């Protein structure tokens, strides 16, 4: 009907002026003129919004797409780094199950060595020491490290596992390791068994 807002405004102005001419009340005329000015301002604002530069619209769309693309790229990079890190961790700890199963064997070997050292059989002792060293070196090359806990060390719940508490033989052993039941082990940087200790109270 009306393609341009100003044509519509002119039409309304003419209609209102004609009706105002027929009326003699000046107050009503002022009110109507105020309304006309308000409508004109609103239409002018609307036309300005509709007449935005197409180049500006394209620039804003381009910026939005660039931002979206940048966020998507950053998300992909984070995903790639995370999966790469998980893969490296998987390879470094893939043998965790086997190593955990071998820990009781290592404990038995250590106990056997202690008992054989008490006897006078030096021939068996040399052979068992060689086998023990070879086993420990092989496991060490695969990333297994023993975590030491010594008698007299201060008990730390982050690195020790307390099996039991017994009365401390002396006051200086209160809150400290009295005996080490089993060694602890690390596979790479991951603890697969904490040292099991007895602490004094």
111: tokens are 């106990």
Long-range contacts of 153-160 (CB under 8 A, 24+ apart): 153/177, 155/197, 155/199, 159/184, 159/194, 159/195, 160/184, 160/194, 160/195, 160/196, 160/197, 160/199
> What's the pLDDT band for 74 if we cut at 50, 70, 90?
very high
Strands 177-182 and 196-200: antiparallel
Average pLDDT, rounded, for the chain: 82
Query: What is the C-alpha separation between 104 and 129, in angstroms, rounded?
Result: 17
CATH topology of domain 96-200: Nucleotide Exchange Factor Grpe; Chain A, domain 2 (2.30.22)
Whether the per-residue pLDDT at 49 is higher than 60: the answer is no
Lowest mean pLDDT among 6-10, 104-108, 138-142: 6-10
Q: Give the residue-averaged pLDDT of 34-48.
A: 73
Q: Who has greater pLDDT, 42 or 139?
A: 139
Tell me what the mean pLDDT of segment 88-110 comes to. 84
Predicted confidence (pLDDT) at residue 73 exceeds the cutoff of 90 = yes
Is residue 81 scored above 80 in pLDDT? yes
Listed ranges 69-73, 123-127, 152-156; the one with the highest mean pLDDT: 69-73
pLDDT at site 26 = 66
pLDDT for 66 equals 93
Question: Is pLDDT at 200 greater than 60 in this prediction?
Answer: yes
pLDDT band at 116 (very low <50, low <70, confident <90, very high): confident
The reported pTM is: 0.53
21: which DSSP letter?
H
Of the chain, the percentage scoring pLDDT greater than 90 comes to 18
Q: Using CB atoms within 10 A of its CB, is residue 198 exposed (0-12), middle (13-18) or buried (19+)? A: middle
Calculate mean pLDDT across residues 104-111: 88
CB–CB of 22/53 below 8 Å?
no
pLDDT over 70 percentage in the chain: 82
pLDDT score at 82:
93
């Amino acid at each position: 009907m009306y393609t341009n807002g100003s044509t519509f405004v002119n039409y309304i102005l003419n209609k209102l002026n004609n009706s105002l001419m027929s009326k003699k009340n000046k107050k009503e005329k002022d009110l109507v003129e105020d309304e006309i000015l308000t409508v004109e301002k609103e239409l002018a604002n609307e036309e300005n919004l509709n007449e935005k530069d197409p180049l500006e619209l394209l620039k804003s769309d381009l910026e939005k797409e660039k931002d979206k693309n940048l966020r998507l790229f950053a998300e992909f990079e984070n995903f790639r780094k995370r999966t790469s890190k998980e893969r490296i961790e998987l390879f470094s700890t893939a043998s965790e199950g086997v190593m955990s199963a071998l820990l009781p064997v290592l404990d038995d070997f250590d106990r056997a060595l202690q008992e054989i050292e008490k006897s006078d059989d030096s021939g068996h002792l040399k052979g068992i020491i060689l086998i023990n060293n070879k086993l420990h070196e092989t496991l060490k090359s695969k990333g297994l490290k023993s975590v030491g806990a010594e008698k007299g060390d201060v008990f730390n719940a982050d690195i020790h596992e307390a099996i039991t508490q017994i009365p401390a033989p002396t006051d200086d052993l209160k809150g400290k390791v009295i005996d080490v039941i089993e060694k602890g082990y690390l596979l790479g940087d991951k603890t697969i068994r904490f040292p099991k200790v007895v602490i004094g109270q």
